[in-house]
Amino acid sequence: MARVLVAMSGGVDSSVAAAIVRDAGHEVAGVTLKLWGGETDSGCCSVSDVEDARRVAAQLGVDHYVWNLTEQFEAKVVAPYVDAYASGRTPNPCIECNRTMKWGTLLDRALALGFDALATGHHARIVATAAGPRLARGADPAKDQSYVLGVLGEHELARTLLPVGELTKDDVRARAAALGLRTAGKSDSQDLCFVATGTRDVFLGARIDRRRGRFVGTDGAALGEHEGIDAFTIGQRRGLGVARGRRTFVVDIDPERGDVLLGDRDDLLRDEQPCIDASFVGAVPGRDEVVLVQVRAHGAPAAGHVHEDRVVWREAQPRVAPGQSLVFYAGDEVLGRAIAS
């Protein structure tokens, strides 16, 4: 029997995760993190979510705590998110939250309090290999969250339980219903907990000293003006407000000049993708080894070769926005990740 702290968001996945860990005979306590004190419609961090988590814990007969980490969240997740957009990059705040908050502050505090492991409701699996624990895709492809957990290393994986990773979402809801949990029919939360739907422009506008800039075509022609580069990301097609008579994409962003370069989809295609901060759970893939590279949470992976500071694609791929994560796979197993530059 181990002492396990379960991160309970007030959703159905973490509720069932807590039930599975309890039923496995472990000593369980639940904790809900209060990360964001502002407006949100994401289905997490609200008073009702804390109450849902508390009442599920009571139904399961386990202790429940609420830890206020709003200051750390502001410093480690929100501020870097704002800084990234202000400098023309596109951040991954959910990955940064996993790295610095859940498997940073939360795991460190759990271990300091004598817990043996941290459990969450993420749809991914931890598999045992001869080389140690490895992260793998969850059983439900539509809900797989291995991409946002690609930052986890051996230290974190050895102290983590992902109890719903072997289940489909329908299985999770069925288990919650069978247990009579109040969260059985609760809607899934949105990815971004601190920006209400449709308000990113307002959120960033209150935190960034914006300056107007130009839309520029790949031929150097001026195509209009915009209010600030934080409204755009490389590869973006919608909401540009520029008519070129054909599908138009953001091809590049120049934070120094404030220019947003517009072009066709073919203008985005690259044979290589520069990257920084590459890290791997085990051995670094050989330069000739083919790996699968995923660049979005639910995007289709593409084949490539990992070099020291870039990915060389087997077939040309659209440029990845600087700041986005590249997660490397061998089949379903996560090998590591890097950040597009």
Q: Give me the average pLDDT of each 10-residue run along the chain (341 residues).
A: 95 97 98 84 70 96 96 96 95 95 98 98 97 97 97 97 98 97 88 82 91 94 94 94 91 96 97 97 94 95 96 98 97 97 95
Cα–Cα dist 322/91, whole Å:
8
Give counts: helices (H), strands (E), the chain.
9, 17
Are residues 163 and 82 part of one domain? yes
pLDDT at 44: 62
172 lies in the same domain as 25: yes
pLDDT at 45: 61
Tell me if 192 is assigned to some domain: no
Domain containing 243 equals 210-263
What integer pLDDT is reported at residue 257 of this predicted model? 95
Query: Which of these is catalytic: 44, 45, 94, 97?
Result: 97
Whether 195 contacts 36, CB under 8 Å: no
Q: Which of 224, 242, 263 is the last residue of a domain?
A: 263
Catalytic, 193? Answer: yes
Number of domains making up the chain: 3
How far apart are alpha carbons 137 and 208 in whole angstroms? 37
Q: What is the per-residue pLDDT for 41?
A: 53
User: Given 45, 94, 193, 275, which residue is catalytic?
Assistant: 193
Neighbours of 188 (CB within 10 A): 12
pLDDT at position 46: 72
> Can you read off the two tokens belonging to residue 52?
């849902």
* Same domain assignment for residues 17 and 85: yes
Could you tell me the CA-to-CA distances from 157 to 127, 150, 162 in Å, in that order?
Answer: 9, 11, 10
Catalytic status, residue 44: no
User: Model-level pTM?
Assistant: 0.93
Ramachandran angles phi, psi of 18, nearest 5°: -65, -40
Q: Are residues 134 and 16 in the same domain?
A: yes
CA distance to 9, 30, 106, 128, 290, per residue, from 67 (Å): 12, 11, 9, 31, 43
